[in-house]
DNA sequence: CCGATGAAACACTGG
DNA sequence: GTTTCATCGG
């Protein structure tokens, strides 16, 4: 075993750096996981560190698992004891150990977005505020933002009336969380930070114990995370952080790539190491990517070098489809062709998009072609109703104070407990200064003797029955194994009969339940609490199935940290990528650019850039223009495969007059060679008649200046700024434009 | 109290 | 186009 053998000089410098602050700026594909893994091995083997003295923070649970297994291979000895996981998982672990300092018990549950929204609605209602004005999602964003920036309710800046109100909602929301014995995602970080901030003894204990702290994807840390690291490292400053400003894509979650700059300021002696040797892509892919990212500012420029054996590689391929159906069809057919001609295996392809909504058409195209695919994210498994129901039952078992879960399943399956009964239950709980769950348990235990039996009136019996179920389950909490407990709950409530109505969806729902049960079996050893925590903290990226011989469909965000031989980036239109919401904010725009950069640099060999001249939004069709990022790719790195010009849109309306674009494209399409849609076909050579700078005249809009012109879909699209009506986009063949002078 | 129906809102990225 | 919420009749 030689930790240093397969490292290049920069990697070796990083791995063998003396204990102290180290900043590794690692370009895509430069082997940063290897650096992190070997660094840990080096700490243990050469610097005499014990595994339990090492904390390694990863971006996903999957990355943690991967690092663990690589490390086990690298070291002969067991790596048990290393703290490895996401910020959230590590914080949850600390919080469960330190309940003495916290306003909740160690059986706290973690609320997800839906739970948060429900709770915020409740807070808004409690404060008699207008629910239309204070929408849960927007309030949640404000609160989350505050938490990410270490702002507690009392410190929330009340600069506007709205902020003042949000501060009150925030405060109420925190109170509600605590009475539910619950925390949200941001709380995991915030409470841990607060714990270390306010209790120097606790801070020192952790900091002295965790002698070496390593952080992956450092560019995507936010302020709480940064401050948390400072506290944890306060006794020694042994912080080894690895990141790349160019791959920071979680700004909306509070991530700030400028933490990389702050790190250099806060730790002046920090070693800075740049990893520029790329082990993944061809030089062409790297050059194209660099041309895109070099337009961003406030970063360390990097010159990524490909391995000589990877060679120059193929040009990036650009395809402009007539509409989004054509876009999907192109993706599917290109994959089929490549597989058929043995150029690549199906599993070597990834199809990336900006928004999950875009996956639908792609999935349909794959289904129609009979081509299997694997989908990452989107309708999350854990977001499905039946899965959430069962999780709610289990959460309630662990923590009867969880009113959100109770509200979710108290009447599942329907057992006659409607709104009215639930409201009186709330009132009874309030009167008794306790939670609804406790009232249920009391009803079950004492029956008619219970204090609230009278108040509840007719529904008391029904509520007591639910309480009885809950009490019975809780008695078994320590005796039954997790899978048995799972079955017991399902049996007692008759859940299968409730969701599996014999229909196709019904058995699909039951299938999901069984999937969840399989997971419960895996957690038999660790128990309910660990099971629930894992359910809350797993991410989409953790659930990417490996080694399946099928193309992967995923968002650009989910693609971070992955690599594929062939990558499609779809939706390369202004408004999609860059996304509409980024168009008027330079910081957001820079992030969209990084997102595109991340997409390109996932590719080992081939990149397909795809756009659609028209796409459906909300049901109606809209024209789009090519993404501005496409202009930044040097022409000699790009191969334009032109417009194929047909759509697989099924509606019969494709021949209506206003659809002349698809028609026009269609008329240029090559005669179908052997049935089916025509194979890839270059656009016909059509001279551009208009050039930027020309003065033109239009019969109704008068004179104007040509801003831009390009050939697409077999026609010429001309952008003209008219003196009378301003900016207009015209089709060369239709518009009656006269050229006045060039 | 329950399920069906129709209107209205609606989707950027995710631990 | 899809999903979620409110309303209505049973």
Which contiguous run of DSSP H or E holds residue A628?
none
Distance A526 CA to C2 C1' (A): 40
Can you give A709-722 as a three-state secondary structure string? EEEECCEEEEEEEE
pLDDT one-digit tens code per residue, A662-701: 222 222 222 222 222 322 223 333 556 777 778 887 766 6
Q: Is A30 left (phi over 0), alpha (psi -120 to 50) or beta?
A: alpha
Which bases of strand B sit closer than 7 A to a protein CB?
A: 1-3, 10-15
> Å between A174 CA and C6 C1'?
30
Q: Over the stretch A557-614, which tens digit does the pLDDT of each residue have?
A: 999 999 999 999 999 999 999 998 898 889 999 999 999 999 999 999 999 999 999 8
- pLDDT at residue A674, as a whole number: 26
CA distance A586 to A241: 27
Q: Which residue is nearest to nucleotide B12 (CA to C1')?
A: A355
pLDDT, greater one: A688 or A469 = A469
A485-498 pLDDT per residue, tens: 999 999 999 998 88
What positions of A carry a catalytic annotation?
A: 32-33, 216-217, 247, 602
pLDDT score recorded for residue A661: 27
Which bases of chain C come closer than 7 Å to a protein CB? 1-2
Cα–Cα distance measured from residue A694 to residue A273, given in angstroms and rounded to the nearest whole number: 51
Average pLDDT score, chain A: 86
A684, β-bridge pairs: none
- Calculate the angstrom distance between C1' of B4 and CA of A484: 37
A567 by Cβ neighbours in 10 Å (0-12 / 13-18 / 19+) ranks as buried
Quick one: pLDDT band at residue A94, thresholds 50, 70, 90? very high
CA of A178 to C1' of C5 (A): 29
Run of H or E including A265:
helix A259-266
Residues 6+ apart with CB under 8 A from A716: A686, A688, A689, A690, A709, A710, A731, A732, A733
The confidence band for A734, taking pLDDT boundaries of 50, 70 and 90, is low
Neighbours of A158 (CB within 10 A): 13
E strand map for A577-690: 603-612, 614-617, 620-623, 638-640
List the structure tokens of A289. Answer: 């990517």
CA of A411 to C1' of B8 (A): 26
Q: State the residue for tokens 């009392």.
A: A154
Q: Is the pLDDT of residue A84 over 60?
A: yes
- Give the C-alpha separation, A425 to A447, whole Å: 15
Of the given ranges (A70-74, A153-157, A374-378), which has the lowest mean pLDDT? A374-378
In whole angstroms, C2 C1' to A221 CA is 35
Give the separation between CA A478 and CA A397, rounded to whole angstroms: 11
> What integer is the mean pLDDT of A476-487?
94
Q: Which residue has the tokens 């028209």?
A: A614
Residue partners of A177: CB distance under 8 A and separation at least 6: A111, A119, A183, A184, A187
If DSSP codes are grouped into helix, strand and coil, which group holds residue A39? Answer: helix
- Work out if A619's Cβ lies within 7 angstroms of strand C: yes
If 0-12 CB within 10 Å is exposed, 13-18 middle and 19+ buried, where does residue A340 land? exposed
A92, two tokens: 């949850």
Strand C within 7 A of A414 CB: no
Q: Which residues touch strand B (CB under 7 A)?
A: A 60, 86-89, 113, 135, 137, 144, 185-186, 249, 252-253, 354-357, 360, 377, 411, 414-421, 459, 537, 539-542, 555, 557-558, 579, 581-582, 618
CA A96, CA A450: separation in Å to the nearest integer?
33
**Smallest CA–C1' separation from A651: which nucleotide?**
C1
CA distance A559 to A499: 34
- pLDDT given at position A660: 26
Residue with nearest Cα to nucleotide B3 C1': A414
Find which nucleotide's C1' atom is closest to A619's CA. Answer: C1
Residue A733's pLDDT band (cuts 50, 70, 90): low
Q: Tell whether the model's pLDDT for residue A349 goes beyond 90.
A: yes
Interval A184-201 mean pLDDT:
96
Mean pLDDT, residues A10-37 taken together: 96
Q: Give a three-class secondary structure readout of A43-99.
A: HHHCCCCCHHHEEEECCCHHHHHHHHHHHHHHCCCCCCCCEEECHHHHHHHHHHHCH
Provide, in whole angstroms, the distance separating residue A616's CA from nucleotide C1's C1'.
Answer: 9
pLDDT value at residue A182: 94
Q: Is the C-beta atom of A651 closer than 7 angstroms to strand C?
A: yes
Pairing of β A603-612 and β A316-321 = parallel
Select from A649, A643, A659 the least CA-distant residue to A610.
A643
Q: For strand C, is any atom closer than 7 Å to the CB of A618?
A: yes
From residues 203-242 of A, list those within 7 angstroms of strand C by Cβ: none
């Amino acid at each position: 075993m030689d930790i240093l053998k397969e490292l290049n000089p920069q990697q070796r410098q990083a791995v063998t750096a003396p204990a102290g602050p180290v900043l590794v700026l690692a370009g895509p594909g430069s082997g940063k996981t290897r650096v992190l893994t070997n660094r840990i091995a080096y700490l243990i083997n050469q610097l005499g560190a014990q595994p339990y003295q090492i904390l390694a923070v990863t971006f996903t649970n999957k990355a943690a698992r991967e690092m663990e297994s690589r490390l086990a291979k690298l070291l002969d000895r067991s790596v048990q004891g290393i703290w490895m996981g996401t910020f959230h998982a590590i914080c949850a672990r600390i919080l469960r150990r330190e309940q003495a300092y916290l306003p909740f018990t160690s059986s706290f549950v973690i609320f997800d977005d839906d739970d948060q929204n429900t709770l915020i609605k409740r807070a808004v209602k409690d404060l008699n505020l207008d629910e239309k004005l204070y929408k849960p999602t927007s309030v949640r964003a404000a609160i989350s933002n505050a938490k990410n920036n270490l702002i507690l309710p009392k410190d929330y800046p009340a600069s506007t009336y709205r902020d003042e109100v949000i501060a009150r909602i925030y405060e109420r929301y925190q109170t509600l969380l605590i009475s539910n014995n619950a925390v949200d995602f941001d709380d995991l970080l915030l409470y841990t930070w607060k714990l270390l901030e306010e209790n120097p003894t606790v801070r020192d204990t952790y900091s002295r114990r965790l002698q070496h702290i390593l952080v992956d994807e450092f560019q995507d840390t936010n302020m709480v995370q940064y401050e948390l690291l400072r506290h944890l490292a306060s006794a020694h400053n042994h912080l080894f952080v690895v990141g790349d400003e160019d791959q920071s894509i979680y700004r909306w979650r509070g991530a700030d790539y400028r933490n990389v700059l702050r790190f250099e300021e806060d730790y002046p002696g920090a070693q800075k190491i740049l990893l520029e040797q790329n082990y993944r892509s061809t030089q062409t892919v790297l050059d194209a990517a660099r041309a895109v990212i070099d337009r961003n500012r406030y970063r360390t420029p990097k010159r990524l070098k490909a391995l000589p054996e990877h060679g120059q590689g193929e040009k990036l391929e650009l395809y402009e489809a007539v509409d989004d159906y054509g876009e999907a069809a192109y993706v599917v057919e290109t994959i089929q062709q490549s597989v058929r001609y043995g150029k690549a295996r199906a599993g070597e392809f990834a199809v990336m998009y900006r928004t999950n909504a875009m996956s639908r058409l792609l999935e349909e195209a794959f289904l129609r072609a009979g081509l299997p695919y694997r989908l990452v994210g989107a309708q999350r498994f854990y977001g499905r109703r039946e899965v959430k129901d069962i999780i709610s039952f289990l959460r309630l078992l662990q923590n009867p104070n969880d009113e959100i879960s109770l509200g979710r399943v108290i009447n599942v399956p329907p057992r006659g407990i409607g709104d009215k009964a639930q409201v009186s239950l709330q009132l009874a709980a309030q009167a008794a200064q306790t939670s609804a769950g406790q009232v249920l348990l009391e009803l079950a235990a004492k029956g008619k003797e219970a204090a609230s039996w009278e108040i509840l009136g007719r529904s008391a019996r029904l509520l007591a029955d639910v309480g009885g179920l809950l009490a019975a389950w809780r008695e078994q909490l320590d005796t039954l194994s997790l899978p048995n407990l799972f079955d017991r709950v399902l049996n007692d409530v008759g859940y299968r009969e409730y969701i599996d109505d014999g229909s196709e969806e019904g058995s699909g729902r039951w299938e999901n339940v069984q999937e969840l049960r399989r997971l419960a079996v895996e957690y038999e050893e660790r128990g309910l609490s660990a099971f629930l925590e894992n359910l809350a903290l797993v991410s989409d990226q953790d659930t990417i199935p490996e080694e399946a011989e099928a193309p992967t469909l995923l968002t650009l965000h989910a693609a971070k940290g992955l690599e594929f031989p062939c990558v499609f980036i779809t939706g390369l239109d202004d408004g999609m990528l860059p996304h509409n919401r980024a168009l008027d904010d330079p910081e957001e725009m820079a992030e969209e650019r990084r997102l595109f950069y991340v997409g390109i640099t996932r590719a080992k060999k081939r990149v397909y850039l795809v756009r659609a001249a028209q796409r459906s939004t909300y049901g109606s069709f809209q024209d789009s223009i090519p993404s501005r990022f496409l202009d930044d790719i040097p022409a000699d790195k790009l191969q334009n495969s032109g417009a194929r010009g047909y759509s697989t849109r099924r509606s019969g309306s494709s021949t209506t007059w206003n659809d002349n674009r698809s028609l026009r494209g269609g008329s240029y399409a090559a005669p179908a060679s052997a049935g089916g849609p025509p194979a890839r076909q270059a656009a016909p050579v059509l001279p551009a008649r208009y050039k930027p700078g020309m003065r033109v005249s239009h019969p109704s809009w008068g004179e104007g200046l040509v801003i831009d012109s390009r050939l697409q879909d077999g026609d010429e699209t001309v952008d003209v700024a008219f003196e009378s009506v301003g900016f207009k986009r015209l089709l060369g063949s239709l518009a009656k434009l006269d050229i006045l002078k060039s």
